[in-house]
Amino acid sequence: MVTLGDYLLVSGVLFTIGFAGVMVRRNIIIILMALELMLNAANLSLVAFSRFHVDPTGAPNYNAQVFVFFIITVAAAEVAVGLAIVVALFRLRQTTHVEDISSLKF
Amino acid sequence: MFTAITRLPWFVLLLPLASAVVITLFTRRWKNVSSYISVAAVLGSFFCSCAIFVKADISAPEFNWIYIRGVFNVPIAFVLDDLSRLMLLVVSGVGSLIHIYSLGYMRDDEGKSRYFAALSLFMFAMLGIVLANNFVMMFIFWELVGFTSYVLIGHWFERDSAAEAAKKAFLTTRIGDFGFMIGILMVWMATGSVVFDDIVAHLSRITSNPDYLTIAAVLIFCGAVGKSAQFPLHVWLPDAMEGPTPVSALIHAATMVAAGVYLLVRVAFLIHASQTALLVIAWIGTISALLGALLATQQSDIKKILAYSTISQLGYMIMAVGLASDEAAMFHLFTHAFFKALLFLAAGSIIVSLHHEQNIWKMGGLAGKLKTTFATFAVGGLALIGCPPFSGFFSKDAILALAYGRNLPIFIIGLTTAFLTAFYISRAVIIVFFGKPRSDAARNGRESPLVMIVPLLILAFFALVAGLEPVAKYFLIVPHEGESGVIVSVLALSALALGVGIATWLYRNREHDPFHVDLIRHRFYIDEFYQWLINRTQELLARIADFFDRWIIDAGVVRGASGGTFGIGSLLRLFQVGNLQAYAFLFGLGIVVLIYFTIFR
């Protein structure tokens, strides 16, 4: 029997992998992908909570699942914008490495 | 309501103003026309004053100027009691004579129109003080005389000393006027009115608090101290001698400086209610009397001798006020106005005939050349030292008798002052009129024109008779001397004889002043002390202001704001490392901290 704890464990592992990716990887596209991973970890835990949060009639609470759809939509938009920025950046700098992008530093 | 009679006080007040306006606006170019307008105006005032004096019950229409119901009410109205009717007569009478005299004295002056306009304006202001029936009106005219005094002292403003003297006179009297103003406000706060009659009616409201009353009375007295050149604000009067001599006679001897005494007599109801205030006033007057007489003994400028003499005589009047005898004060004011104006005008006559030489050591032997001037100066001097039967004898005797009866230390100082008075004026007479001429100007001196001599003679007549009882009784209440009269008279006369004798013995046939008392020559270093004090206080204030500006405003507020912003900015700049992952890490860390605080706290 798969419990809520198992789902949350997977979700946590996914989130950690994503966070570690954001922290350690230098390629901005990989960082974006890792970000998506973190997002989906959150989605997974939301769906899991929804599935296990049942009312007295046995029906799950669908609110969280609807919320996940929104997150996926927003994530798609975010990726579109993010990749567009990456493309623009690459055109400007001919690089996707974050070490090379440091013009905010004084 | 507006009958010819009731219009008279308005004529008295407004004729000189009209003259000043006309001269300033229209006749500046025509100097002689200006001077005649001014003389005509003051003569008109004088005749109206005479009519008012003769008519006992006269009242002028009045109207409200500022009227806030129950709070503040300033009418433009006149007080026409015995006191103000006498003052009107003295002011406009002496004023008329001095106006006429000015025709001669200022004959060839460039600024004749300006001079006569200012003189007319002064007459307006002075008559306003006399007529005012409330404190506010009086204060306004009070300031106006201060202003005209400033203008007239600085008449020859191209001379630096005159400009300086004018400034000094104005600022010094302003100090006193400030006290006067606060005094008025205190009286108004307590009684809710500035009109003299109303204050008398509600006097209990202020007398119920003796300390408050004393402070208010002394503050009002401050105004008199400034205007009447009493110690410690006497320093401006000798310097004011830079003005033309008729101005010295009119403003700085007969009228404006006497306004302080008039003010005190006018508000006697307040002052008499406080014994402390009376004592302060009496002693200030006594100190001024002695100080002025002492300083006069070593002056070599004829006008400055008379100026110090004025301080001294005003001291007598203030002393009389302080000894709670308004009659004696007014009596001396009345006689002093004549003989001191006379002395000044006679001195002016000497100065003119000697081509503006004022140093008595450059004069000498003038008795034979300026016969009339000598005679009138002698009359003035005799009246000043209180030689019977001249007017000063009676009025000074009245004050001394008063002091004898009420306060012995003051009497002794008063007597000493009488001795000194006899000494310094005899000294001046001997040096100026006897001996050999000490300069070419003195050798070639000629008598002044008739227009100057006639006022001298009229004033000399009054200086002679004004004190005689039948004459004086007609004008004012003559104080009774009581039993002490004989002793006091004998003492005063021996002081007089002693002073004249010593002066004659010391100064007969001298070429130079045999004495140099530095302390007195330097006016007891009072001017120097004030200079030092003002420099010091100014320095201190400047230093405090500088410290405040430099350290509080500049370093604290302005640089503090900019430095704070800059410092915090450079601190925050450390976070801008330029590494994307570092930002993300800080972001994550922030979230963790946030969660920690929201859940575990």
At A16-26, the pLDDT tens digits run: 999 999 888 88
| Tokens standing for residue B224 | 């008199």
| Tokens standing for residue B87 | 């003052």
Which are the contacts of B471, defined by CB distance < 8 A and separation ≥ 6? B465
* Whether the predicted pLDDT of B56 surpasses 70: no
CB-neighbour burial class of residue B213 (10 A; exposed 0-12, middle 13-18, buried 19+): buried
Q: Please give the Cα distance from B437 to B132 (Å, whole number).
A: 49
Q: Please give the Cα distance from B11 to B209 (Å, whole number).
A: 41
Which are the contacts of B410, defined by CB distance < 8 A and separation ≥ 6? B282, B283, B286, B319, B323, B403
- Over residues B19-46, the mean pLDDT reads 90
* Whether the predicted pLDDT of B65 surpasses 60: yes
Helices (DSSP H) in B210-322: which residue ranges? 210-227, 236-239, 245-249, 256-266, 268-271, 275-296, 302-322
* CB spacing of A98 vs B576 below 8 angstroms: no
B578 vs chain A: nearest CA distance in angstroms? 4
The predicted pLDDT at position A75 comes to 92
Nearest to B576 among A28, A31, A104 (CB): A104
Considering A48-57, A73-82, B1-10, B503-512, the range whose residues carry the highest mean pLDDT is: A73-82
Nearest to A104 among B578, B581, B588 (CB): B578
- Over residues B183-206, the mean pLDDT reads 87
DSSP 8-state secondary structure symbol assigned to residue B132: B
* CB spacing of A23 vs B577 below 8 angstroms: no
* CB spacing of B584 vs A105 below 8 angstroms: no
| Tokens standing for residue A100 | 């090379």
The predicted pLDDT at position B448 comes to 80
Band the pLDDT of B1: cuts 50, 70, 90. Answer: very low
Q: Please give the Cα distance from B285 to B43 (Å, whole number).
A: 34
Contact between residue B256 and residue B149 where contact means Cβ atoms under 8 Å apart? yes
DSSP character string of B156-213: GTTSHHHHHHHHHHHHHHHHHHHHHHHHHHHHHHHHS--BHHHHHHTHHHHHTSHHHH
Nearest to A23 among B576, B578, B581 (CB): B581
Q: Please give the Cα distance from B139 to B223 (Å, whole number).
A: 9
CB-neighbour burial class of residue B75 (10 A; exposed 0-12, middle 13-18, buried 19+): middle
The predicted pLDDT at position B73 comes to 83
* Whether the predicted pLDDT of B597 surpasses 90: yes
Residue B351 half-sphere exposure, CB side, CA atoms within 13 Å?
23
At B414-435, the pLDDT tens digits run: 999 999 999 999 988 888 888 8
Mean pLDDT of all residues belonging to chain B: 87
Which are the contacts of B180, defined by CB distance < 8 A and separation ≥ 6? B139, B142, B219, B220, B222, B223, B224, B226
- What is the four-CA torsion angle of B130, B134, B140, B142, rounded to 10 degrees? 40
CB-neighbour burial class of residue B149 (10 A; exposed 0-12, middle 13-18, buried 19+): buried
Q: Which residue of B has its CA nearest to A35?
A: B584
Sign of the C-alpha dihedral computed for residues B532, B537, B538 and B539 taken in this order: positive
According to the 3-state scheme, what is the secondary structure of chain A?
A: CCCHHHHHHHHHHHHHHHHHHHHHCCEHHHHHHHHHHHHHHHHHHHHHHHHHCECCCCCECCHHHHHHHHHHHHHHHHHHHHHHHHHHHHHHHCCCEHHHCCCCCC
Q: Please give the Cα distance from B286 to A83 (Å, whole number).
A: 103
* CB spacing of A23 vs B585 below 8 angstroms: yes
Q: Please give the Cα distance from B300 to B516 (Å, whole number).
A: 11
Q: Please give the Cα distance from B373 to B453 (Å, whole number).
A: 7
- Chain B residues 565-584 within an 8 A CB cutoff of chain A: 573, 576-581, 584
Q: Which residues of chain A have pLDDT under 50?
A: none
* CB spacing of A98 vs B581 below 8 angstroms: yes
B585 vs chain A: nearest CA distance in angstroms? 7
Contact between residue B410 and residue B323 where contact means Cβ atoms under 8 Å apart? yes
A-to-B residue pairs, Cβ atoms closer than 8 angstroms:
25
Output phi, psi for B105, to 5 deg: -65, -40
> What's the first-to-final CA gap in chain B, in angstroms?
91
Output phi, psi for B194, to 5 deg: -115, -5
Q: Please give the Cα distance from B318 to B289 (Å, whole number).
A: 9
Band the pLDDT of B2: cuts 50, 70, 90. Answer: low
A31 touches chain B (CB under 8 A): yes
Nearest to A98 among B580, B585, B588 (CB): B580
Sign of the C-alpha dihedral computed for residues B245, B251, B254 and B257 taken in this order: negative
The predicted pLDDT at position B566 comes to 93
* CB spacing of B576 vs A105 below 8 angstroms: yes
**Which three-class secondary structure state does DSSP give residue B538?**
helix
Q: Which residue of A has its CA nearest to B576?
A: A105
Tell me if the domain spanning A4-100 has CATH number 3.30.565.10: no
Band the pLDDT of B362: cuts 50, 70, 90. Answer: confident
Q: Which residue of A has its CA nearest to B577?
A: A105
Instruction: Report which of residues B402 and B567 the model is more confident about.
Output: B567
CB-neighbour burial class of residue A91 (10 A; exposed 0-12, middle 13-18, buried 19+): exposed
* CB spacing of B584 vs A28 below 8 angstroms: no
* CB spacing of A102 vs B576 below 8 angstroms: no
User: Angle at CA B167, nearest 5°, toward B338 and B172?
Assistant: 70
Q: What percent of chain B has pLDDT over 70?
A: 98
Q: Please give the Cα distance from B93 to B95 (Å, whole number).
A: 5
The predicted pLDDT at position B4 comes to 67
- Over residues B85-102, the mean pLDDT reads 90
User: Angle at CA B150, nearest 5°, toward B222 and B108?
Assistant: 145
B344-372 burial: b if 16+ Cβ within 10 Å, else e = bbbbbbbbbbbeebbebebbbbbbebbeb
